[in-house]
Each structure stands twice: as structure tokens, then as C-alpha cells.
Amino acid sequence: MKKITMSAVALTAIMGSFSSVSADGINILDDIKLDAEIRPRYEMVDDGNSATANANAITARTKLKVTANLFDVEGLSASVGIISVNNFGSHQYNPKDGHEYTDGSGDPYAVVVDPQYAMISNAAVNYKVGDTLLHAGRGQVNLDNQRFIGTVGWRQLERSYDSVFVANNSIKNLSVLAAWVYGLQGVTAGETTDTNTVLLHAAYTVMPALKITAYDYMIANVHDTYGIALTGNVKMDSVKLNYRAEYAVQSDATMEIHTQTPTTGKADADYYNLDLGANISGVLAGVNYEFLSGSTGTDGKTNFQPTLGTNHKFNGWADKFFVGNTGPLGGLIDANVRLGYKAKGIGKFLAVYHDFTADKEMGGKDDLGSEIDVLYTNKIPGVNGLTGMLKYADYSKGSVAGYTDTQKFWAMLDYKFSTK
């Protein structure tokens, strides 16, 4: 695909020259808004494999989205946007784009899935009437904590969903969504996937301390994931508590699409996630236990797979698990603790320790290793909308074969701005 480049400054200037486009007294476009992001990043990967060279990826993501009202019709709007990833000619990493770059000794570089590529990220029409929103076209979809449906926003080439959906919140404290997803774009270069997926989601807020969410995500030819989550926030003087208790089940796919081969094995897996967090005058602490069931390899069943999830948020930032959304055949149990501090002007520091085991033994073993993750992020003084981040992941392998010690480091700036 031909690379798309565009100057955000020039586009802003052009948009600023008019507030509407009209024909015969009818405003075709009105109330035009620009949202933009520029995100340069350095990523180092030492994957512990003697056959690969350490990756040193320098990339930058540019996102531009224009939203405008249409034809003077109340509630009718459209959006169009692009996302472009550039590596400035640097090829010291494997971007998974069909090319395998090597160092001076001929060893391929470790993988960093940030290919140089550009695509249309948004192209949609929305119509809001009362408490109901109708959407048709391409855009981003993030549901709940993004464990099962997300855009993989950590990667530079963020995923977009081609969908038609209706969302409604006419009943107080209740929100419902029903979506048909017919295509997926992004994350890897040229990834274009036709699908026939249905997403059903409902959330009811009983009180600040209790929100009940139910969902059924029917991914064509893969599986159905349906479950329930209880979440809430509790304030006690200077202590703020938050929790999550979630259970989900995967079964054979309801939806089908003839252009793809169905997943082999019977989808019969379960998942639960228990999380408790606290903010005590800026001190952050939490414990988490996440269970994704596995298969013995001979029972004809699949392991639990968060196929469309934003998985970098979970199970360690080294991304050792759920590569390709399949994960360890024996499943995964992630027991982790976190500790940090957050304050205005100081920023946020967070450290997480993970202990990984398999649900079912693989090769007679279930130790999948451990990981230490550390993050620091803060707003850059003097520049509105600019934040900086330093991030490190250190994974130590366990006794289960097929894993290697891995270290990753990131240094990133993120600049966002909007015209309104």
C-alpha cells in the first residue's frame, strides 16, 4: 500500500480557514473537529535467543481524525482518519511485514510488531437520536478493560473495526450495545481480515460500589466468549478501593464465515479474574489473580484464547504469552502484585511482579516463569498534551520448554491535541 504522509500543521491550518462547507444554503459539513496524535518511540528487545540479534526499533505513530456534522441534520455526523507508522529508514528489528532484516553477522533481529505502514483508521457515519447511537463504518472499539475486545493500542499500528452497531442508554444506569463486525484492520502490515462477528454487551450501574457487566462475543469460526463482571469503587477517607470479579466461558462458534478455516478442537474453556486495588494518598497497591484454562493436548479441547483482546495490558509487558492470540496450550495462571505512586507534578511510578504457571502440565511441567515490570510516566512541563514514558520488562523463563529469558525497554513521547 502506498505510504500516506500528511502534515498535521498544514491540515490544521486548512481546517481553520473554514468552519463549514455549504451548497445551496445547506451545510454539508459543519462543526469540524480535528483530533491528532504524534507518538515517537524507541523499543529495545533482547529475546534471549542466540540465533537473533537484539532489536532497536525507532518508530513514530501519527494519527489524524476529522469529525464533522452532516447536512444540518441534528445528530448526524461522519468521521475519517488515518494512522501512519514510520521507522525513518531504520531496520534494526523484525516488523513482521514480510521482510526479515539481519545484522552484520547475518542474524535476524528480534520481533517488534511496528511495521512502517499507513491505513485508513476511521471512515464512519454516526447518527444519534435521543439516547440511541447508530454507527456504520470503520473505527476503534474498546469494551470494558479491553481483555476480550480492544484495539491493541500499545502497538503503533492500532487495530480498527469495520462494524455496524447500535448503542442505547435510555434506561437510567443501563447501557447496551449490539454490534456486527465485518472486518478487522491493523496491528501488522496489510492485515485485512473479513469476519462475521457479533458483539453483545450490557452494563448496569447499581451504585458506585457495584457495576454489573454481561457480554457475549461471538467471533466467527473461532469461539463464543460469554461472561459476567462485577466492578466497583469504594471511598473510605483517604483510601480509594477498586475491585473486579469476572468469570467467562468459551464455547464453539455460533457465527461462521466461509472464507476462513474454523478453529480445530472443541472450544470448551473458562476464565476468571480477581483483582483488588487501592490508592492511599497517592500510594498505589494491588493484587491480581487471572486464570485462563488449558488443554492437555489430547482431550480435543482448546485453551482459553482472548482472540481480539488488547493483551499487552495483561500477563506481563514482555508479551511472552498469547502471541498470535493462542497462548500456552496448557493455559495460564498469572498471580501478580503491584506497587506504585502517583502525584500531580511527580507523575506515576508502577512496579509489577508476575508469577506464571500452567493450568495443565506441558511436558510434565507447569512452571512458566516470572516477570518484573517497571513503568514511569509524567506530563512534560510547558507543553500541553505531551507526556513521556519509560518502561521496562524482565521475563525469566520457567521449567516449561519453549520459553527464553527476555528483556524489553521503551522510551516514548506522546503528544495529543484537538481543535475543540
What would the pLDDT profile of 221-254 be if each residue is shown by its tens digit? 999 999 999 999 999 888 999 999 999 999 999 9
Q: Mean pLDDT over residues 101-112, rounded?
A: 91
Q: Amino acid letter at 45?
A: V
Residue 72 three-state SS = coil
pLDDT tens-place string over residues 189-212? 767 789 999 999 999 999 999 999
pLDDT of residue 286: 98
pLDDT tens-place string over residues 344-398? 999 999 999 999 999 999 989 999 999 999 999 999 999 999 999 999 999 999 9
Q: With 50 as the cut, is the pLDDT of residue 5 above it? A: no
pLDDT tens-place string over residues 122-133? 999 999 999 999
By DSSP bridging, strand 160-168 and strand 132-139 are antiparallel
- What grid cell was written down for 75? 445528530
pLDDT of residue 193: 87
Q: With 50 as the cut, is the pLDDT of residue 18 above it? A: no
Q: Mean pLDDT over residues 12-39, rounded?
A: 70
Q: With 50 as the cut, is the pLDDT of residue 14 above it? A: no
For CA atoms 13, 18, 23, 29, the dihedral sign is: positive
pLDDT of residue 4: 40
For residues 420 and 417, give the distance between their C-alpha atoms in angstroms, rounded to a whole number.
Answer: 9
Q: Amino acid letter at 163?
A: S
Spatial neighbors of 89 by CB under 8 A, at least 6 apart, are none
pLDDT of residue 24: 57
Burial of 273 (0-12, 13-18, 19+ CB in 10 A): buried
For residues 389 and 412, give the distance between their C-alpha atoms in angstroms, rounded to a whole number.
Answer: 5
Mind giving me the DSSP string for 338-387? EEEEEETTTEEEEEEEEEEEEEEEETTEEEEEEEEEEEEEEEPTTSTTEE
Q: With 60 as the cut, is the pLDDT of residue 155 above it? A: yes
Q: Mean pLDDT over residues 20-34, rounded?
A: 73
For residues 32 and 48, give the distance between their C-alpha atoms in angstroms, rounded to a whole number.
Answer: 49
Least confident of 17-26, 221-230, 248-257, 289-298: 17-26
For the chain, the C-alpha Rg in angstroms (whole number) is 23
For CA atoms 150, 97, 373, 401, the dihedral sign is: positive
User: Could you give the count of Cα atoms lying within 13 Å of 263 in the half-sphere of its Cβ?
Assistant: 25
Predicted TM-score (pTM) of the model is 0.90
Q: Which residue has the cell 435510555?
A: 170
- What grid cell was written down for 164? 455496524
For residues 293 and 214, give the distance between their C-alpha atoms in angstroms, rounded to a whole number.
Answer: 20
For residues 44 and 52, give the distance between their C-alpha atoms in angstroms, rounded to a whole number.
Answer: 13
Burial of 166 (0-12, 13-18, 19+ CB in 10 A): middle
